[in-house]
Amino acid sequence: DTGVSQDPRHKITKRGQNVTFRCDPISEHNRLYWYRQTLGQGPEFLTYFQNEAQLEKSRLLSDRFSAERPKGSFSTLEIQRTEQGDSAMYLCASSPRGLGYEKLFFGSGTQLSVL
């Protein structure tokens, strides 16, 4: 168990640029989640995958956001035409089967700053 890893740890970009984040979940975990956390707030759900299928997207996930999980392994989250309001920490988490009582294993997040 090497844990959930996220890359990069920090990203600074200019408004209007596109950015992509990567998440590598624990290898045997079927469920993968993306959350967004702004300063002083709790994480907010963005989307989740069951294997390679994206099963739910939050209203927070505008058309500028897209997430993929090809082959049910790692996942990418892309933000197009970034805005200053996108500045936040983006957290990835995984769990074995996605059952309600399961513990989520979180990565250390990608901190995005949009200038």
C-alpha to C-alpha distance for 50 and 6, rounded to whole angstroms: 18
Q: Which of 18, 73, 108, 113 binds other proteins (CB under 8 A)?
A: 108
- Tell how strand 10-13 and strand 110-114 pair up: parallel
Q: Are 40 and 50 in contact (CB under 8 A)?
A: no
Q: Per-residue string for binding with other proteins, 35-64, x by CB under 8 A?
A: -----xxxxxx--x-x-----x--------
How many residues form the binding site for other proteins (CB under 8 A)?
26
Nearer of residues 50 and 66 to other proteins, judged by Cβ: 50
Query: Token digits for 23?
Result: 């998440």
* Residue 100 is a binding residue for other proteins (CB under 8 A): yes
